[in-house]
Structure formats: C-alpha cells, structure tokens
Structure 1
Amino acid sequence: SLLIRAHGSARKTIEKADSLGLEVIDATCPMVKEIHKVVRDMDEKGYRIAVIGDYNHDEVQGIVGQIQHKAIVLENIADIEKKIPPNLKKLAVVVQSTQNLEKVLKMQDILKKRVPDLEFHNTICSPTRLKQDEIKTLPKKNDCIVVIGSKTSANTKRLYEIAKSINRNSYWVKSSADIKKDWFKGVESVGITAGASTPDKTIQEVKKHIQKITA
C-alpha cells in the first residue's frame, strides 16, 4: 500500500504506485486537493504556473508535480524579479496553504503590475488565516508568547515569525521539555497558540507546565 499524506503528492508518484498494483490510500487534505485542481485547470488553459511557498516543502513539491510543464516557485518578493520572465503574458498563481497572508498580498500587488494576464488564487486555508489573525493580537495582549508545534511545521513557523515580529518575548517549542523558566521572569501574562497539527495533549501539557513554573 501507498499512503499519501495530508500534504499531497506528485501525480507521477501515484501513477507509479498504480502501475505496480499498489493500493493507494489518499489522505491528501481536501484544501490541498483543490489547489491541485486549480493548477491542472490553469495549466490546460495555457497559463504558466507559479506557486508561492517554500520550495522544499512536501506540499509545494506535490503542487508542482501536478503538471508536466515546469512551475515557478516563489519563496519571497525577491524571487519575482529573479524568476518571472519580463515578457511573460499569462501567469496563474496558487499559494501553499500555510503561507503568511501579509507577505502573499504584497507579492500579489507586485505580480499584478508585472504580468498582464494574472490569475491569482489565494489558496491559504481558512484555519491558517484564522490562526494568523489571532496571532496578530495575542502578542500585543500578553507579555510572553509560546508557540507550540513541530520544527518542520510550515504553519507553526509562520505563527512564530508573526508573533516574534510583534513581541520579541516569543518562543517556539515542540513540547513542555523545551520551556525555560527564565522566559517568564517579570511576566504577568502568557499567550499560547499552536500549529494546526499539534496534538491537543501536547498543548495541554505545555499549558500545565507553564502554570506550574509560574505559580
């Protein structure tokens, strides 16, 4: 059997599994599947495809692997100048589902001025948008912020980056074992948030540990 994770996979991976007679268990997130569909549809309509996201992330590799033509991966604003041909007429853009919304909107504005026929699909998922909205206010209301999640989690990374840009007393932990007592010296309030894939058990353990060492 072949299990496709939530991040999705390139079409050739699934096709190869089928050719080998393997059972394919597709656990791709429905929102990621929608991105795949957009990419295939726009490619068929003759648009060059660009993905705003982290080049080496599994989700991004799965997206670019939906089509035969080479897609452009834009990790930041500087990549637009470096990677988008100056004479490009038609471009369809999708976004890795866990990207930073503010950065994406800035890139959209630049691309609008650069490409005459731009089809921009803001495919950041709803839970990510809600979390990012929350993290913009949490660091302002609390003296210290703790972001919980795997160091390989893209959406946890975004939450931490936003929190840190607003409140320098922001920390990224995988579990309660990463917490240091001196983070909370002189702190009256602590805000806690977590990446989408962080287990509730881990969140509760971190919360209890913070309550214990700050009591």
Structure 2
Amino acid sequence: MKKITLAKHSGFCFGVKMAVDKALKEAQKSDNVVMLGDIVHNEHVIKKIDEAGVKVITELSDKNPGTLLLRAHGTVPEVYAEAKKLGYKIVDASCPLVLEIHEFARRLEEDGYKVVIIGDYGHDEVIGISGHVKNSIIISKPEDVEQKIPSRVKRLGIVVQSTQNIENAQKIVCKLMVLCREMKYYDTICKPTKLYQAEIRTMPKENDVIIIAGSFTSANTKRLTEISRSLNPNSYQVECGDDVKKEWFDNAESIGITAGASTPNWIIDQVINRIRHIIEE
C-alpha cells in the first residue's frame, strides 16, 4: 500500500487567511469593495473573492469611491494617502508581519543605515517595503551583490521579504558583510515560511515522490518546489487535483504532499483525493 504524508505545515498561513476572511466579510457588507491587484497569488482564491463581489481595479478614482481593501502583500504609503483623500473606506488586509517589515525598514533609515531589501525583483511585497524608505537597494540573489553595491559603504541595514528562501538570504548576507563597516540585520522571514521550508528540506529525502500544491504565480510555492527538486527530482508542482498525473506514482511507495502559503485547504484536499484515486485504481 502506497503511503501518503501531508506536511504538518502547509496551505494558508495566518496572514493569507486573515486577508481572505477580511475580503469576504467586507463583500457581505458592501457591493463596492475594490483592490489594487489580486489579494494573494492563487487563481482559485482570486476566483472565490471575485465571485463574492470584490473587484480588482488598476487605479483609484473619485467616482463613487467605496471600500479599498489593501492586499496581504502590503502597499506603499502613497496608496493610503490617495485613498484617504478620495474618500475611500480603507480596510487594511496586509499581513501584520509585512507591516512589521515596513516599520523595521523605516527605523533603519531613520538611524542612518542604507537599507537593503533581500527579495524578488518586482514582487508586490518587495515593492511595498521599498516604498516606505528612500533609495533602498533590492537584491534578489548572491550574484547581484557586487553589482548593486560596487564599493564599501559605512552602514547597511537589512530586511528580508517574508517568504524568501532562507539559504539564499544567508548567502546574500555573507557577501554583504565584507562590503560594509557596520551591519544591522532584521530576520524578517516569517515563521510559517521557516516551518514550510524546514519540512521541505526533509520530506524529499523521506518520500519517493513530492507533490507541491500551489499557483505558479506564488513565489513561496515556487521556492518550495525549487528546494524539493534540488533534493528529489521526482518533485512536481500542481495548481489543483486535475494537474496530478498517474505516471508520477508508478514506482513510488511513499508520497509527500505540501502546499504554499496561499493554497486553500480545499485545493489540498482535492490533490490528496486525486492521488488516492490514482493509487487505488
């Protein structure tokens, strides 16, 4: 009998759950709830929020301003100011841990540090963090350090995107250490990310096949896949149960399943049920 093991830590983190719950709650109160972009990086969640009546807009308007839901990734100060000026009711669904990163970045700047953000270029969370300080330096991978900081600087203050690969962040910090006289580092990788990544560094060694459930637009899910594949080539990312393929399990006796922080429980259940159906055929 093939064994299926679900990671202890997988699926919605508390920040994503809070944001989704707030969106659905506000949709029940009003038919004019909007967001500047998707609430989280998962197509199934986006569809559910859209069906509840929350709409995505590209810019704020003074025509019939309603409720502006600020997304889980956080946003820049200008959005708060403009929404308030135009008369929107603001509901902040930003993850509290992301808001904490904003505060750390501002504090570093006020204390005279050059702020470095370790994070993915163009990611919504990283854009939001960067918007709270002036002229921050964003570094995504160790190879970019010398290009971004070509000469020694006096003081560097570092924050990290909450869902970053821990090992990647550590490598970047090691390179930064030799480029400054003084460094202050805030470990802002969130606890859920650390727990998810800790498990995905052991599960691929203990299972023949690993399935990672989550959107290909989700940075944290893709990171789980990258880590898993580096340890076990039989690692597959799927968005839903329909993506699971029978041939993946032909010679497998043990199957490990995990999911990104923006993957809802119903998708995880769907994936598990699909795998059970395949192996019981």
Q: TM-score, normalised by structure 1?
A: 0.97
Q: Which residue of 2 aligns with 1:43?
A: 109
Q: Which residue of 1 aligns with 2:72?
A: 6
| Alpha-carbon distance between aligned partners in 2 of 1:135 and 1:93, rounded to the nearest angstrom | 26
Aligned 1:99-118 pairs, distance under 5 A: 99-118=164-183
**3-state secondary structure, aligned to 1:147:** strand
Aligned 1:73-92 pairs, distance under 5 A: 73-92=138-157
2:268 corresponds to 1:203: yes
**2:74 partner amino acid:** G
**3-state secondary structure, aligned to 2:201:** helix
**3-state secondary structure, aligned to 1:89:** strand
**3-state secondary structure, aligned to 1:123:** coil
Task: Select 1:186's aligned residue among 251, 255, 262.
Answer: 251
**3-state secondary structure, aligned to 2:188:** coil
2:206 corresponds to 1:137: no
Q: How many Å apart are 1:4 and its aligned residue?
A: 0.5
Q: How many Å apart are 1:5 and its aligned residue?
A: 0.6
| Alpha-carbon distance between aligned partners in 2 of 1:37 and 1:116, rounded to the nearest angstrom | 23
| Alpha-carbon distance between aligned partners in 1 of 2:228 and 2:104, rounded to the nearest angstrom | 31
| Alpha-carbon distance between aligned partners in 2 of 1:122 and 1:85, rounded to the nearest angstrom | 24
Count of residues in correspondence between the two structures:
214
| Alpha-carbon distance between aligned partners in 2 of 1:199 and 1:176, rounded to the nearest angstrom | 13
**3-state secondary structure, aligned to 2:271:** helix
| Alpha-carbon distance between aligned partners in 1 of 2:244 and 2:152, rounded to the nearest angstrom | 51
Q: Which residue of 1 aligns with 2:56?
A: none
2:135 corresponds to 1:70: yes
Deviations 1:60-88 (A, max 9, x none): 00000112x11111010011110014131
| Alpha-carbon distance between aligned partners in 1 of 2:82 and 2:182, rounded to the nearest angstrom | 35
Deviations 1:122-166 (A, max 9, x none): 100001000100001100000000000111111111111100000
| Alpha-carbon distance between aligned partners in 2 of 1:214 and 1:114, rounded to the nearest angstrom | 54
- Unaligned 5+ residue runs, structure 1? none
Q: Which residue of 1 aligns with 2:187?
A: 122
Task: Select 1:31's aligned residue among 88, 94, 97.
Answer: 97
**3-state secondary structure, aligned to 2:202:** helix
Deviations 1:152-205 (A, max 9, x none): 111111111100000000000000111111111111111000011111111011
Task: Select 1:93's aligned residue among 143, 150, 158.
Answer: 158
Q: Which residue of 1 aligns with 2:232?
A: 167
Task: Select 2:120's aligned residue among 54, 57, 61.
Answer: 54
Runs of 4+ in 1 over 6 A off after TM superposition: none
Deviations 1:64-117 (A, max 9, x none): 0112x1111101001111001413111111100001101111111111121111
| Alpha-carbon distance between aligned partners in 1 of 2:162 and 2:219, rounded to the nearest angstrom | 9
CA RMSD of aligned residues (A): 0.9
Q: How many Å apart are 1:16 and its aligned residue?
A: 1.0
Q: TM-score, normalised by structure 2?
A: 0.75
Task: Select 1:17's aligned residue among 80, 83, 89.
Answer: 83
| Alpha-carbon distance between aligned partners in 2 of 1:203 and 1:151, rounded to the nearest angstrom | 15
